[in-house]
A and B are shown apart, each in its own frame.
Chain A
Amino acid sequence: MSRDVESIITQIIQGVNGDAALVRRGRYVNLTFQLGIDNHNYLVTVDNGRLTDIQPRLLSTETGVFSVRAKSEHWHKFWLPVPPRDYQDLFSMLPKQYAQIDGNVLPLMQNLQYFKDVLACGRMPQEGAANA
């Protein structure tokens, strides 16, 4: 991955919490989910639609309600300003198994567009586009 994970995570947190409409759409979401990049897992905590914490998962006993995982090469394409085909959305990565979802996916399905938009906040802005 050309960008370091830390900067992507920072961008996701700022992107979500700085987007009042996205926070409103996730206002009933209160949980922790796992974001997997290669073999590294991160616990993402959501509190009424706001991201309050993203921490590396250090212990097996620390877990999330559901997990979303992909290899870094796939996340890299997903987070490009204009993703190539099959990478434009979390669910477009599923048919060819570029991404995997596991666990109790009910809250993911209940707030699917919200979670897809949260992950897309890691996307690099298009050249010339105003910074959000």
Chain B
Amino acid sequence: MPEFEPIVGRYFTMDVAGEACRIYVEEAGSGIPLVCLHTAGSDARQFRHLMCDETITRDYRVIAFDLPWHGKSNPPDGYRDREYQLTTDLYKEIVMNFCHAFELQQPVVMGCSMGGRIVLHLALEQAGYFRSVIALEGADRLEPYYSLDWLHRPDVHGGEICAAFVSAQVAPQSPDNYRWETLWHYMQGGPGVFKGDLYFYWHDGHFDDRSPLIDTEKCPVYLLSGEYDCSCTPERTQATADRIKGSSMMVMPGIGHFPMSENPDKFREYLLPVLEQIKG
């Protein structure tokens, strides 16, 4: 028999905006639920290293799912006649429906990039439900620096351009194999999906006007930012932390926008103390 990884992947169907969506989910470990949200335009494979890390999985049930339209989760029926666009409300609904479908009690939710943004919304609106939120590369506001139209047009290869755009955000110190694995996920994204995600991340999901309302006594907030992230920069994360009283902020030297997948060995050095603190 092959030596299997401890990750188990399954499919289930859940309601998303009144439609049945077939969702792919992976998990490993037992204990405190740790729901992981992937970056825009990618999928849950980004978290595979966490799920194979016994130091984490002996205390945490690590769960990562592909958002609808991403990875091995289906887009809804009739997708070919729609333009995908992730909104703040839809994103919150998806995460909450997922957690309720799994009947998770007091989970920790950790998201990266746009996932790091939505967890801040959840820290405010679902403070009684989540034990804690961890925002990786998750500022409460960002400014666009390229036109999203390049990401979905017939004369530019969608997978190639998405990967080439985000390759700018990987730290030079990250191992080459993990760098290119991270980019492979982007090369495999569906047409227009990264663009649709960035609608949330760059436009609809701004939250700096309400992030000061987060009560970190009710729901602790951890912000971890990679030094080489040129989108959600350490400065933007610091500004977010300054607005969220009581939040914990850390810059991760030598890491870019994809800590869990571009340099998992380095990332765990920063994540483990946070998980230890949350465990109490």
Contacts and interface: CB of A to CB of B under 8 A. Distances in A.
Interface of A: 82-83, 85-86, 88-92, 94-95, 106, 109-110, 112-113, 116
Contact of B164 (A83, A85, A106, A112): A112
B146 A94 contact: yes
Contact of B165 (A85, A88, A110, A112): A112
A52 B20 CA distance: 56
B160 to A, nearest CB: 7
A85 B173 contact: no
| Interface footprint category on B | 20 to 34
Contacts of A91: 146, 164-165, 167-168, 230
A109 B161 contact: yes
Interface of B: 143, 145-146, 150, 155-157, 160-161, 163-165, 167-173, 227-228, 230-231, 233, 256
Contacts of A82: 172-173
Contact of B145 (A94, A106, A113): A94
Contacts of A113: 160, 163-164, 167
A5 B227 CA distance: 29
B230 A95 contact: yes
Contacts of B230: 85-86, 91-92, 95
A110 B164 CA distance: 10
Contacts of B171: 88
B163 A109 contact: no
A81 to B, nearest CB: 9
29 contacts: A82-B173, A85-B227, A85-B228, A85-B230, A86-B230, A88-B168, A88-B170, A88-B228, A89-B167, A91-B165, A91-B230, A92-B228, A92-B230, A94-B145, A95-B143, A95-B145, A95-B230, A95-B233, A106-B155, A106-B156, A109-B150, A109-B156, A110-B155, A110-B157, A110-B161, A112-B165, A113-B163, A113-B167, A116-B168
Given A88-B172, A92-B230, A112-B160, 19 more contacts: A82-B172, A85-B227, A85-B228, A85-B230, A88-B168, A88-B228, A89-B167, A89-B168, A89-B169, A91-B164, A91-B165, A91-B167, A92-B169, A95-B230, A110-B155, A113-B163, A113-B167, A116-B164, A116-B168
A125 to B, nearest CB: 13
B231 A95 contact: yes
Contacts of B161: 109-110, 112
Contacts of A95: 143, 145, 230-231, 233
Nearest to A94: B145
List of 9 A-B pairs having minimum Cβ-Cβ separation, nearest first: A91-B168, A112-B164, A89-B168, A92-B230, A113-B164, A95-B145, A92-B168, A88-B172, A85-B228
Contact of B168 (A90, A106, A109, A110): A90
A109 B143 CA distance: 21
Given A86-B230, A94-B145, A95-B231, A110 B172 contact: no
B228 to A, nearest CB: 5
